[in-house]
Structure 1
């Protein structure tokens, strides 16, 4: 599974990345966390508000920091 965090690298982006890693680890899902900071790549996903969470190339959240449990729901493990 590839989890992408789209954003500038701000505190919110970092927090979302940490929560995504924690959720994947807790579920025992081997996931690669990729941070995407290039605005052209972010725009290619149609994302206008960051941070955004992308799971296996599907945008599942934009514009907010999800909690660990919210990320777990998106991963299908909650």
Structure 2
């Protein structure tokens, strides 16, 4: 599983990355987490408000900072679908 945290490096982006790492650890999945700070690359995903979260090239969240539990809820169906 490849996860991208999209954002320029603001506090919200840092918090989303932290929540994502906590969720991945709680699920015990093997995931590569990448920070994307390039505005052109962020815009290519259609994200108008950061932070954004992309899982296996699909935007699953943008414009808000969820809790680690909320990120886990977003990732669980993807893991169950065989993304492990």
Regarding TM over 0.5, the answer is: yes
Is 1:43 matched up with 2:43? yes
Q: Which has the larger radius of gyration?
A: 2
**Offset of 1:32 from its aligned partner?**
1.0
Gaps of 5+ in 2: 78-84
Give the alignment's TM-score, normalised by structure 2. 0.88
For 1:37 and 1:28, how far apart are their aligned partners in 2?
Answer: 26
**TM-score between both structures, scaled by the size of structure 1:** 0.94
- Which consecutive segments of 4 or more residues in structure 1 shift more than 4 A? none
- Give the deviation of 1:66 after TM superposition: 1.0
Q: Secondary structure at the match of 1:3?
A: strand
The equivalent residue for 1:76 is 76
Equivalent in the alignment of 2:58: 58
In the alignment of these two chains, the number of paired residues is 77
Unpaired stretches in structure 1, ≥5 consecutive residues: none
The structural deviation recorded for 1:30 is 0.9
Shift of 1:18: 0.6
User: Which structure carries more helix by proportion?
Assistant: 2
